[in-house]
Structures are given as C-alpha cells and as structure tokens.
A and B are shown apart, each in its own frame.
Chain A
Amino acid sequence: MATFPQLKTGAVAQYPVVRRGEFRNQTVRFMDGTDQRYRDSAAPRQSWQVSLSGLDETELAAIEEFFLANQGSFGSFAFTDPWDGHVYDDCSLAADGLSAAVVAEMRGATQLTVVRNR
C-alpha cells in the first residue's frame, strides 16, 4: 500500500490544514410543506486540504513523484489524518492536477486535496 509522503520533519501537512466532512442526504418535499429525509451514503465523505510551503527540492520532488505514481486522482494510498494521527487506508487525490511553485532555493510550495474513498 502506497503512503502519502512525509516531509523531512516527519509531518504530512503544515498549518493551515483543512479537514472537511460532507454528507449526501436526500430530501423529498411534499405539497403540504413537510419533508422526508434519508441518507444516500453510508458515511460522510472526508477530505483534507494540505497546503505546503517552504519545501526544499527533495520534498517537492517527492510530492511530484507521488502525484505521478498515483496518476493523479486514480491511485489509492494510506493517509495519516494530521488532526488525530488516524491512518485511513483507502484515500486518493481529489484532482488530476498538481501545480508547484518555486520562488527561491528551498522555497517550494504546492497544494493537494486528499479524499477518503468509499
């Protein structure tokens, strides 16, 4: 099982990191104004927005290689939730694009969103 790359400090993310939960509920509205709601998914969809800056060349290259090895959003990997350290075994990148900026030596930056598959 592939693993989301760690920075040289051992961390997987930097501040700020956004953790998002999303339910997919459906609502049927009746003519009298009442409604009936039901779940349309087994669990909330979790995602993490990881923004990285101040990366050195080795760290940025590792992120880029990870993106290519996963073929963007196709591959699956284990991701450690930076909030509580829980390891989620089946996660993917949310997008098929990765943009990396290098503003100076050892000052690379990029951003990824990781989603938990189900």
Chain B
Amino acid sequence: MTNLVYPQLETGALSQFPLRKTRRTRTVTNRAADGSTIKLADPAGVITEWNLAYSDLSDQEAATLRMFFEAAEGSLNSFTFLDPSGNLLAWSDRLNNEVWQRDPALTLTGDVADPRGRTQAWRLANTGTAIQTVAQTIAAPGACQYCLTAYLRAGVPATLRLWAGDDSVSADVTPVWNRLMLTSSNQSDVTSMRFGIEVAALATVEIYGIQVEAQPGSSGYKATSRGGVYEGAHLRDDALAIIRTGVNRNSCTVNIIHVNHL
C-alpha cells in the first residue's frame, strides 16, 4: 500500500482558521488523603488530536478531501500528517542535537543573543575552505509545498544558501537580523525532504528560529522538540460529511488523531 499523505488545499495550506489542537498525556496518580500524590508518567501514552474546520472549499478541494477519506477508508488506514500549526523540524533551538547533520568544519556556539531578546541563537563558523552545511532530513513527502525560514545575521556581511530538497536560494546576510525564506516546489517523487543552510568558506553567521512549515508562506516561529511530522496518524471518524453551501463552495470538518503507542 502506498504511503498516504494528508492533502494540502489549492492555496498550499493544510487547514483554515479556526484550528484546534489537543494534547493528552497519561499519568498514573496515587492521591493520598492529605492531598499529596505519587505519580508515574507514561511517555508512550501521548495523544494528539486536530480539529480542522474547512469552509468555502472549491469543488476540487472538496473532491481531494473526499478521495483522501476514501483512500484512508475512514479511520482504518494510517497516513502522514504535517501539523498545520507546527514547525516540522525537530529540536529547532538545539542545533547540536543529533537530528541535525553538520559538516565537520562547521563549529557551533550556543547561547547567542537572538532577535527576541533571549539567548537561543547559534553562531555557525565555517573554519574550512569549502562550503559547509547544517541540515535536517524529515519524513515529509516531496508532494507538498514547504516554507523554510530562519533569522540570520552576520558581523561581517556574508552570503549563504538556503536549501529545501532540490530548491535553493542564495541570500546576503547583514549585521541586522533578517528573516530569510525559501518556498519549495513540488518534488513528488521523494518521501523525505532535507532542509539546510549552507555557509560559505571562512564565513561566520548567527542563526535563530529555523522553521519549516507545510505551506507556501511563513508564520511566527515555533520552537520544537519532536517536530511536526506525524507518521501513523488516523482519521478519528469513519464518516465525512461535506456540505455544499453554494456554487463551488463547500464546508466540512475533519478530525485527526495521532497516538504514540499505535
């Protein structure tokens, strides 16, 4: 069976406002008579649910959702869901985490002042004579459109390159923080995407808020730990009601659930 992916709308967005996301964890609690407690966590018991309310969908968009619902056979088959309110990258504030692939001549310094007045930025120094890259590969299908953004500055103006799969853009980095953006094109033949930043030889840049979203434009930065790619998600319901509200206007609500232990 092919890997199912929850579809984007014609605009490239995965959902519309309002969007509701619910997280549930499971803690076994023994509560004593005096109100004190003994607790046991269950990390495998995390459940995430999304309530996606759509309105004014075109007939084509409604048909796409309908076809997806039929392919998933309601709640039966799992699919990959890209969190529409999340940053798809994992550990976005921890460039020293093992999820990041870093070329050997690239040195990292943490706790650098960021544009929000805190110290979550990183300094990337390329001590080599060749281009060096820091990147992350995520299990996101190439058939979707992505937006890669990052805040960047450099004490000495430098040029770098943002990469999203096969797409890239070159950008000048100045001493002032700027948010750079790259929107990827459709790369339907791949099942994972690599997003990265290429630093020129002997250049030093500071970076903060690296983010990938499954939409053509960017939203506010969201720091992550697990990242927003949910493999093994399911439709919560076995029914999908699409209401035709006018000519080429449809509305519906989709509930999606992801459970760690399934």
Contact = CB atoms under 8 A, between A and B. Distances in A.
Q: Is the A/B pair a real complex?
A: yes
A71 B41 contact: yes
Q: Which of A57, A58, A62 has the most CB of B within 10 A?
A: A57
A42 B222 CA distance: 41
A67 interface: yes
Chain A contact surface mostly? mixed
A68 B225 contact: yes
Interface of A: 8, 24, 40-42, 45, 56-58, 60-62, 64-65, 67-69, 71-75, 92, 96-106, 117-118
A42 B27 CA distance: 24
Interface string B15-49: 00111111111110100011111011111001000
A1 B225 CA distance: 18
B116 A8 contact: yes
A50 B46 CA distance: 22
Sort A-B residue pairs by CB-CB distance and give the 10 closest, nearest first: A72-B25, A57-B220, A61-B222, A74-B41, A41-B34, A99-B22, A71-B41, A103-B18, A96-B25, A74-B27
Give the interface size bracket for B toward A.
35 or more
B25 A69 contact: no
B27 A72 contact: yes
A70 B22 CA distance: 15
A117 B31 CA distance: 11
A62 B223 contact: yes
